[in-house]
Amino acid sequence: MACPSGAFRAPFPPRPASAAVAFAVMIGCAGGPAFAADVTLPEVQVEGSDGDKEYHPTRSNTATKTETPLKETPASITIVPAQVIRDASLLSIGEVLRYVPGVMVHQGENNRDDVVLRGNRTNADFFVNGIRDDAQVFRDIYNLERVEVLKGPAGIIFGRGGAGGVVNRVTKRPVYGPVGEATLMGGQYDQIRGTFDVGDKFNESVAWRINGIAERSDSYRDGVNLKRFAINPTATFNLGPRTALLLDFEHLDDRRQQDRGIPSRNGAPFETSRSQFFGNAGQSHAHSEVDSLSVVLDHEFENGWQLRNAFRVAHYDRFYQNVYPGSAVNAANTLTISAYNNANQRTNYFNQTDLVRTFVTGTVAHTILAGVELGRQDSANQRLDGVFGTNTFTNLPGVSASNPYAAVTRFEANPNGSNARNDVTAEISAAYLQDQISFNEQWKLIAGVRYDRFKTDFDDQRSVVPPTDLSRRDNGVSPRIGLIWLPNPWSSYYVSYSYAFLPSGEQLSLAPTTADLEPEKARNYEIGARWDLMPRLTLSAAIFRLDRDDVRSADPANPGFFVKTGQQRTEGVEIGLQGEVTPNWLVFGGYAYLDSRVRKPFNSGTVATAATIIPAGNHVGLTPRNAFSLWNRFTFHDGWGAGLGVTYQDDYYTSFNNTVKIPSFTRVDGAVYYAFPNQKTQLALNVENLGNVKYFPTVDGDNNITPGAPFNARLTLTQRF
């Protein structure tokens, strides 16, 4: 019996297994339903190629909600296993995603995870174990088995949003055996980080596991620091021969200075020290707290149907305040500094019920998935503008770029009531049906459809008369079909079509300029292949066209407002390589060629003005034409090893107006490892930016440009027990 990719952190010794024990092991697998045909297997085994100590996962349920071999999945999906995260010393979701072809990390005002997937920006399409986790916060990687990135629209599985794809975190689970590990990291800029991962079983019916992390660090950026800690206890209860229950709680606290980088000048990043803060670091800070509880019940009926009910409630308490560059540097060597703060409290309730059944009709095998998702999201928001001196304006012009410091006197709502203050409620209901059809060993088909109802109520609480109370209801049908051909055991090919829709209130926000907009629509046409170059080394490739219609984009000239860009098209190629070149040489990486442009401009006369019409042919922001990354791990004799990573990124525009361009760069990282003879202790020295290259990896519009980190190093001690 094999678990989904990366489901266990480490194998545990085989032992005789009753149906109850085997079923409990399957519950330890993260993600969607993963049921064996016969739960009374003679022994419990875990497929080694899918453990977190490997680079070569072979199965996933992110794209189908059932345990499916990657070679039978008609979609481009990249799985970053925990061992890659560990070897490359990746400490955030953003760092993990830099090694995923077709994905760019957006700055997100440096207060949240934010990505660009196949030219489509999102900070909402984040999931954990298949359940929506769409709050604008930073997530940590301390408790992850792997990160799975599904490229292309995935409305059939994930519902609204996901125009360019989704990011699904798969967390660690109890394994009915001993688990023990602790790490201590120290690095430049006074960085210190510790993690622990412990677990065991109380008896054959109950297993537990606890993960935790604490970190503090300064930065190469003046006045910038972070502090965060988290704890994640989990427990699995075997309630009978065919029933198991999983409980999962997490508390995360993240505090940091909010750093929005440097401005531009004459269409390029302003020439300044990469440590220079523009605005006021002391008045720029972000704080988020997340408390979540998940309850997952799995049951297999006597007639062969498998039931999974997953419930998750999560509360997000978030505040950020920033004093930042609000314009380019002009000919007089001055710029405008802007300021505001924002408070948000959100509570998400989601419940997914899935039924899975595998059966054969004649010579054709079917795996049927039928499911229902219900959800509610409550969000309260308030924004206040910063006031400089005795001004009543939130922007301070004429600040010298040589000394770009500005202090805010106070934060308050503007008299005109333009600052946001609202309560928003979203209600979600959906039903979906999918069939995975196996005609024979060579030909397989996946087809499915989902119906979503998404209702948003916007309660305006500003002191304006009359308030702008808004409401919108959208219904959408999301189909998906994919045909797979497996001519031999070492290769597979597929063609697929997928769709998703993005309602106006998708991110729990409505405004007069968006409430009357029809949902955006995303359609993806794809041809792909996977080849096993060696038994544990896989090369994957995909050629695709992704059209996004009725697109609304943030107006760089009017923050908080939107313009329509008509249609956006991304055409491209993605290539991935991961696994073992030899048993002592592991690789993980990929290449992406993306041509992402405005295809049809919005016709003037309604929302946009002539000054904000986006011409057809303009490039989409933060989407380089070529991007390449490759991480290598080498194992030598006597416990020694080394790592080498290369990242290349083409030049790109900061936004769709194509007025500021960021230059290309190549960055090289390295590592040295030593495993002590007891095989339980390891030291790792990771070095970032070996060549001390000056580069700009990400942006948030034309004048919030992040300088990359200089040469820096960190040492990690790992102790298993």
- Chain segment 611-649, per-residue pLDDT in tens: 456 778 899 999 999 999 999 999 999 999 999 999 999
Cα atoms in the Cβ-side hemisphere of radius 13 Å centred on 661:
11
Q: Are 359 and 393 in contact (CB under 8 A)?
A: no
In whole angstroms, give the CA distance from residue 290 to residue 252: 5
Res. 711: pLDDT tops 60: yes
In whole angstroms, give the CA distance from residue 481 to residue 525: 10
* pLDDT digits 0-9 by tens, 640-658: 999 999 999 999 999 989 9
pLDDT of residue 12: 27
Q: What burial class does residue 107 get, using C-beta atoms within 10 Å of its C-beta: 0-12 exposed, 13-18 middle, 19+ buried?
A: buried
The residue type at 299:
H
3 state SS for 90-136:
CCCHHHHHCCCCCEEECCHHHCCCCEEECCEEECCCEEECCEECCCC
pLDDT tier for residue 381 given thresholds of 50, 70 and 90: very high
Which residue has 């060579």 as its token pair? 442
Res. 583: pLDDT tops 80: yes
pLDDT of residue 423: 92
* pLDDT digits 0-9 by tens, 204-255: 999 999 999 999 999 999 999 999 999 999 999 999 999 999 999 999 999 9
Backbone φ and ψ for 28, nearest 5 degrees, come out as: -65, -20
pLDDT of residue 602: 54
* pLDDT digits 0-9 by tens, 394-408: 789 999 999 999 999
DSSP E strand stretches across 205-242:
206-218, 225-240
pLDDT of residue 257: 95
Res. 688: pLDDT tops 50: yes
> For residue 431, what are the CA distances in angstroms to 158, 231, 274, 335, 570?
11, 34, 50, 52, 29
Selected residue with higher pLDDT from 41 and 672? 672
In whole angstroms, give the CA distance from residue 429 to residue 547: 26
pLDDT tier for residue 561 given thresholds of 50, 70 and 90: low
Q: Are 602 and 613 in contact (CB under 8 A)?
A: yes
Backbone φ and ψ for 700, nearest 5 degrees, come out as: -135, 80
Joined tokens for residue 535: 């038994």
Res. 51: pLDDT tops 80: no
Res. 1: pLDDT tops 70: no
324 sits in which H/E element: strand 306-325
Mean of the pLDDT values across residues 451-480? 87
Q: Options 1.10.286.10, 2.60.40.10, 3.40.309.10, 2.40.170.20; which CATH number does 19-720 get?
A: 2.40.170.20
Kindly report whether the global pTM for this prediction surpasses the value 0.75: yes
pLDDT of residue 33: 36
Q: Report whether the peptide linkage leading into residue 512 is cis, meaning its omega lies within 30 degrees of zero.
A: no
User: 85 — alpha (psi -120 to 50), left (phi > 0) or beta?
Assistant: alpha
pLDDT of residue 545: 98
pLDDT of residue 3: 39
Percent helix / strand / coil, the chain, rounded to 5: 5, 55, 40
Selected residue with higher pLDDT from 519 and 133? 133
Q: Are 80 and 62 in contact (CB under 8 A)?
A: no
The residue type at 703:
N
Mean of the pLDDT values across residues 272-282? 97
pLDDT tier for residue 271 given thresholds of 50, 70 and 90: very high
Grouping H, G, I as helix, E, B as strand and the rest as coil, residue 72 is: helix
Joined tokens for residue 660: 């500021």
**Sign (positive or negative) of CA dihedral 657, 661, 666, 672:** negative
Res. 466: pLDDT tops 90: no
Mean of the pLDDT values across residues 415-434? 87
Res. 413: pLDDT tops 90: no
* pLDDT digits 0-9 by tens, 148-202: 999 999 999 999 988 999 999 999 999 999 999 999 999 999 999 999 999 999 9
Mean of the pLDDT values across residues 279-306? 96
Q: Are 630 and 646 in contact (CB under 8 A)?
A: yes
Residue 70 per-residue DSSP state: G
Closest-CA residue to 300 (of 29, 44, 35): 35
pLDDT tier for residue 684 given thresholds of 50, 70 and 90: very high
**Sign (positive or negative) of CA dihedral 477, 113, 593, 549:** positive
Res. 41: pLDDT tops 60: no
- Round the average pLDDT of the chain to a whole number and report it: 88
pLDDT of residue 389: 86
Q: Are 691 and 667 in contact (CB under 8 A)?
A: yes
Joined tokens for residue 476: 């959408």
* pLDDT digits 0-9 by tens, 77-90: 999 999 999 999 99
Where do the domains of the chain lie?
19-720
Res. 592: pLDDT tops 50: yes
Q: Which of 486-490, 548-552, 577-581, 712-716 has the lowest mean pLDDT?
A: 548-552
Q: Radius of gyration (Cα) for the chain, nearest Å?
A: 25
